[in-house]
Amino acid sequence: MKQDKLKRQTKKEPGEVKAPQVQVPVYWLETSDTVSRRYEFEPDGYLSVKVVNDSRPVYHRVVESFLNKFFPSGYPYSVNEGYLRYTQFRALQHMTSAALSVLSTQSLLFAAGLRPTPAQATAVSWILKDGMQHMGKLICSNLGARMDSEPKRWRILADVLYDLGTGLEVLSPLCPHLFLEVAGLGNFAKGMAVVAARATRLPIYSSFAKEGNLSDLFAKGEAISTLFNVVGLGVGIHLASTVCSSMQGKLIAGPLLSIIHVFSVVEEMRAAPINTLNPQRTAMIVADFLKTGKVSSPADLRYREDLLFPGRLIEDAGNVKVGRALHKVVKPSKLQEWKEIFPEEKFVLSHGNKWTDMLLEHNATAEDALRGWLVAAYATSMEKSFHEPSASMLQDAYDKMNSIFTPFLNELQAKGWHTDRFLDGTGSRFAF
């Protein structure tokens, strides 16, 4: 009887509508540093955050807002060492660059107005001047492999070229009859600078990315650039209407701005911990390892890199030179002999009086370059000890390299170095 009664009570009537289930929102409050935030899961699964109470001083709130808009999420823990210094000098660089562009544009317009030619001819000259910039871009685009190998050097060179082109534009009113030649050459240099600056931007940003946040880094970096470009335009307009309204003022302010501009770029590049392996960084890693037994990190090497002449030989790393043509370095008989002794290796070493040439196969990676570099360094060190080369010295150096290479490579990768590619620029490689 009780069971029948329960069935009748729980039985759904034909017209009865089931009441909808109300989902209770999941939220909680967190308080830290006098800031209360409400965290709540939205129906689509996303987590929303709202500030409920903020009793911090206005200064602290402004700083946090600035960091959120112009620095990557999770800063400073989401970026590698040196990002703040890089950003500071990047801001100064863009400000001075924008100010210089205002002065150059003012000079170009003034020079064009001084020409004793019809307006149509002046317009044609202006268009041809812009065409020279595209020519510079096309020529510089063929140097991409070298920019991969030495992004810091090419970034500095890009800004030197930009300042050179801007300087020619500023001087154009002094020779209005040569407007097309002077302004065209200036735009040609600036076209090369634009390509070099854009091509080297990605490897530099990549060196700071720590948590796969390259897009966030790129976006926030461009935001900083835009902000200080606007500031620089304001500075340039003020200078153009006051101190630089005359050519004498431009000849004083222009070089000063250019010096600050190039100095800022150099400091930017010194702060960037590039983590790809090229000849210079590989030689420095090997030299440090042979002297101290430790592997240097990208941050350890950033202030020691030679940004202007990266091809210098390092004696402690075996004076190794990479990328010379095979037929200039090794005779066919010597090459065959090498491959018989070390058939599995993708490098060839040729010891000379002043340096050791290393040649790489087409598919050689940074690991192969490191193996060859260590062999050359150990062989050079043994030669100094015994004062004369012996037939077994190369084999001894090779065996010593093999004994330490696995832990050496593991520590290298743990320090953040990329060993999948060796960026030797346009160096020659060979294939059997």
CA-closest candidate to residue 281, choices 419, 407, 158: 419
Look at the domain 83-271 and name its fold.
Growth Hormone; Chain: A; (1.20.1250)
Residues 6 or more apart whose CB falls under 8 angstroms from that of 141 comprise: 195
Rounded to the nearest 5 percent, the helix, strand and coil shares of the chain are: 65, 10, 25
Calpha distance 292→282 (Å, rounded): 15
Calpha distance 423→417 (Å, rounded): 13
Residues in the chain: 432
Residues 6 or more apart whose CB falls under 8 angstroms from that of 244 comprise: 103, 106, 250, 253, 254
Give pTM, 2 decimals: 0.81
Alpha helices in 11-81 (DSSP H): 58-70
Q: Which two tokens stand for residue 152?
A: 């810091």
Q: What radius of gyration, in Å, describes the C-alpha atoms of the chain?
A: 31
Cβ-contact 189, 171 below 8 angstroms: no
pLDDT above 90 coverage of the chain, percent? 50
Q: What is the pLDDT along the chain (432 residues), one digit of tens a residue?
A: 444 544 444 444 555 555 555 555 677 877 776 777 777 877 766 667 777 776 767 777 777 777 778 888 888 888 999 999 999 999 999 999 999 999 999 998 888 776 555 555 556 666 777 788 888 888 888 888 889 999 999 999 999 999 999 999 999 999 888 888 888 899 999 999 999 999 999 999 999 998 788 999 999 999 999 999 999 999 999 999 999 989 999 999 999 999 999 999 999 999 999 999 999 999 999 999 999 999 999 999 999 999 988 888 998 899 999 988 888 888 877 888 888 888 889 999 988 888 899 999 999 999 999 999 999 999 988 887 766 556 578 889 999 999 999 999 999 999 999 999 999 887 788 886
Distance from the Cα of residue 259 to its chain's centroid = 22
Would you give the DSSP letter of residue 32? E
pLDDT tens per residue, range 294-329: 999 999 999 999 998 888 899 889 999 998 888 888
Cβ-contact 166, 186 below 8 angstroms: yes
Cis status, amide bond into 76, omega within 30 of 0: yes
Q: In sequence order, what are the beta bridge partners of 53?
A: 36
State residue 168's pLDDT score.
Answer: 93
State residue 251's pLDDT score.
Answer: 93
Would you give the DSSP letter of residue 303? T
State residue 425's pLDDT score.
Answer: 83
Q: Which two tokens stand for residue 106?
A: 């003012």
Q: Which two tokens stand for residue 239?
A: 């200078």
Domain boundaries, the chain: 25-55, 83-271, 279-415
Main-chain dihedrals φ then ψ at residue 13, nearest 5 degrees: -70, 150
State residue 7's pLDDT score.
Answer: 47
Cβ-contact 314, 283 below 8 angstroms: yes
Q: In sequence order, what are the beta bridge partners of 28?
A: 39
Indicate the residue type of 282. Answer: T
Q: Which two tokens stand for residue 266?
A: 């150099």
41, containing H or E segment: strand 35-41
State residue 264's pLDDT score.
Answer: 97
Cβ-contact 379, 318 below 8 angstroms: yes
| 429: helix, strand or coil | strand
Q: Which two tokens stand for residue 76?
A: 């400073």
Distance from the Cα of residue 146 to its chain's centroid = 13
Q: Which two tokens stand for residue 183?
A: 């302004």
Calpha distance 196→158 (Å, rounded): 6
Distances (CA, A) of 157 to 197, 244, 363: 9, 27, 30
Distances (CA, A) of 133 to 111, 188, 348: 18, 4, 42
pLDDT tens per residue, range 64-118: 777 778 888 888 888 999 999 999 999 999 999 999 999 999 998 888 776 555 5
Calpha distance 338→150 (Å, rounded): 31
Calpha distance 125→116 (Å, rounded): 13
